[in-house]
Amino acid sequence: MATLSQVLSSASNFVLSIALARSLSLAEFGQVSLALATATLMIAFSRTTIGQVLILHPGGTRESAYLASQFYFAGASVLAIAAVAAVTGGSAGFTISIALGAGVALVVDGLRYVTISRGDWANAVVADAVWLCVTGVAVLAALLSRTTSASLIVACWGAGAAASALVLAILLHRNGTLPTPSSRGSVRWLSSSRSVVLPLVGESSLILLSGYAVNIAAAALGGYSALGLLRSAQIIMTPVATVVQAFTLVIAQSVLRQRSVNRSGLRQAALLAMVLQGVLVCWTAILLVPGIGDLLLADSWEAILPLVGIVAFGQACANLTAATLSWTRAAVSTWHAFRFRLTAFWIDPAMVASAAALLGSPGPVIGTSLSQATQFLLAAAFAAALYGRRFR
């Protein structure tokens, strides 16, 4: 159920991104991508910080404090996203749509994590399905009407988020468990679990900030066309990559629990993780079938076609890096994974910036994949050294 919820939640963002990529030129898509990246950063940061704390430390009074923290964060996020959209030249309609849409999405996450913390994954899946369905139908109607614009498509996504929030509120109210936000004790509640959550939050924050720095580097050195090409290439792999990464982590962790964290268990988990990346190869082959890529990305597909294999390779390396670090947490310590991310933080933006300066528009895509491959090799060497000390 957890994997299904994650897939449905990611699918709504995928529908939004594909619709924008189809409707805009690469340069126009790159221009709105920084605002979209800011919204994604805020939502992902909320999930890996405040939401993670609630799951690890659930409870009635904590839920009220959590919702208050989430609403405060949503308000700050609306202002930050609107500022980025305005600075990058977004229209007034797009600026309002993306800022309010992301704010509503954060409210959805607040109610969603309350539901998840109680172990009620069924309601979370229902809410995610509602978000996906409303967004998909609204976007399809907009595309068929041929009156699409960035602001209209983002508004469709925001409408899906609003419908999802309404469904969650009704489900919680029907059960008599809808918490009332209360700022009382919220700071004390967040700080009480810092020893458990801090390394996980730190690691996630480094990943998010590094990805955001990549977007800025691509736009600054390659222009909005280069950023649009990078985001379009990443989008085309998102649905399958998300599922593969989720199953890589879940199945590999299951192997470790059954075989225990030892050399044999780690070898079996590593082999399984590498086999699962074959799904990305199959997806790449499907995209290369004439007409499939055009159906998804329309005119942008021609520029992305030569880079699809490179993107798939980089995504496979990123999945294996995440799996390797998850095993490091299980076998050694959570702090070691955080230290690796801290050390590797600048690899992504540095390689993307260099490739953009040398290769132009395709540079950020190639630089990102090279960075992901480099980080996997470093993570494997790092983990091998730690495992050698642990199991000698």
Residues 79-90 have pLDDT tens digits of 888 888 887 776
Average pLDDT score over residue span 216-234: 85
Q: Are 15 and 139 in contact (CB under 8 A)?
A: yes
| pLDDT bucket at 58, cuts 50 / 70 / 90 | low
Q: Which two tokens stand for residue 373?
A: 């491959």
Mean pLDDT of the chain: 78
Alpha helices (H) along 118-193 = 121-145, 150-174, 186-192
Residues 6+ apart with CB under 8 A from 239: 10, 11, 14
Residues 6+ apart with CB under 8 A from 30: 218, 219, 223, 224, 225, 226, 227, 228, 229, 230, 231
Which is more confidently placed, 200 or 341?
A: 341
Measured torsion, CA atoms of residues 221, 227, 230, 233, in degrees rounded to the nearest 10:
-160
Does residue 114 have a pLDDT over 70?
A: yes
Q: pLDDT value at position 264?
A: 67
Q: Which two tokens stand for residue 14?
A: 């995928």
Q: Are 369 and 313 in contact (CB under 8 A)?
A: yes
Residues 6+ apart with CB under 8 A from 198: none
Of the listed ranges 31-35, 186-190, 214-218, the least confidently predicted one is 186-190
Which is more confidently placed, 119 or 379?
A: 379
Q: Which two tokens stand for residue 39?
A: 């919204």
Single out the residue of 42, 50, 19, 45 nearest to residue 32, CA to CA: 19
| pLDDT bucket at 14, cuts 50 / 70 / 90 | confident
Does residue 179 have a pLDDT over 70?
A: no
Which residue is listed with tokens 């405060």? Answer: 72
CA distance 36 to 102: 9
State pTM to two decimals: 0.76
